[in-house]
Amino acid sequence: MYDFSFEITYDAGVDEFVDLFIDRESLRSEAIHSCLDPVELWTLESVTGDPDDLEAIDTLLFDKSVDRESINDRECDPTRATSLLTNEQRQRIVYTYVSDVDFCEAVPLIVAKYLDSGVLFEQTRTGNTVRWRVLLQDDSKVGHLYDTISAKLGDGLSFSFEHLTEVDSWESSLLPQANIRAEQREILLVAVERGYFETPREVTLDELADEVELPRSTVSYRLRRATAELAKRFADRQL
């Protein structure tokens, strides 16, 4: 297998969805895409951030008319079905199924036009940058894909190649995870964002408890359980 990775950078004002990530620095999106042909696509997307920032992006996440796929100014017009899988204070997980595609210049659909074997995509959005990792069975058409994607970018978008690497494993945070309960995961996300695990710590346990409006003992317990599950997962991978 081969991991083909690249970044697409957006100028402000070019894409309304990306603009929210530019304006609201806490937002981060991780998505898995898959398509077996150029007329349909499914996406599992996790968006995390401060509660106010997530509320600002909710409208675009669930508006079926908003084109989040195209990489140029010619909008996609497929049939789009969206389902909310997780709705937490600091995370949304959304499943989107796109079908009946007549025309759409989206990275997964472009790749599907040239490759007839299954391809898996990981997409990460932060700020003005969208990073793509494409898992391919072979690298024979990577040069062609590089040229095609670069040529189809709209004004205000730029392409940056990262690497092409042969791999025997491929991990993503949206694939099977440690058994962390939702309330534990939420506290863990806040703790990481606020620097609780930095040295020296940038926030105290009392300050975390005040922010999430929970007793200190509850925050401490949930953090311990979350970190314990992560430690077990790490140990299992080493055995």
Q: What is the DSSP string of 17-70?
A: HHHHHHH-TT-EEEEEEEEEETTEEEEEEEEE--HHHHHHHHHHHH-TT---S-
pLDDT at 172 over 70: no
- 29 and 53 Cβ atoms separated by less than 8 Å: no
Q: In the prediction, which pLDDT does 149 show? A: 93
Range name among 42-51, 160-169, 208-217 with the lowest pLDDT average: 160-169
Average pLDDT value for residue range 61-66: 84
- What pLDDT score was predicted for residue 237? 47
Model confidence band, residue 148 (pLDDT cutoffs 50, 70, 90): very high
Is 148:110 a contact under the CB 8 Å cutoff? yes
What residue type is 13 in one-letter code? Answer: G
Six-digit token string for 160: 């940056």
Distance CA 229, CA 194 (A): 21
Asked if 145 contacts 120 with a C-beta cutoff of 8 angstroms, the reply is: no
CA geometry: angle 157, 101, 132, nearest 5 deg: 35
Candidate from 43-57, 95-109, 164-178 with smallest mean pLDDT? 164-178
Residue 171 has pLDDT above 50, yes or no: yes
Burial level of 121, CB count in 10 A (0-12/13-18/19+)? buried
pLDDT at residue 177, rounded to an integer: 53
Nearest-CA neighbor of 94 among 24, 29, 36, 39?
Answer: 29
Average pLDDT over residues 94-99: 89
Supply the angle between the helices 142-152 and 107-114 in degrees, to the nearest 10.
140
Residue-wise pLDDT for 194-208, tens only, equals 888 887 889 999 999
Interstrand relation of 119-126 and 129-136 (parallel, antiparallel or unpaired): antiparallel
What average pLDDT does the segment 124-153 reach?
Answer: 91
Number of H helices, E strands in the chain: 7, 8
Does 111 have pLDDT greater than 70? yes
Return the residue matching tokens 């069975």. 137
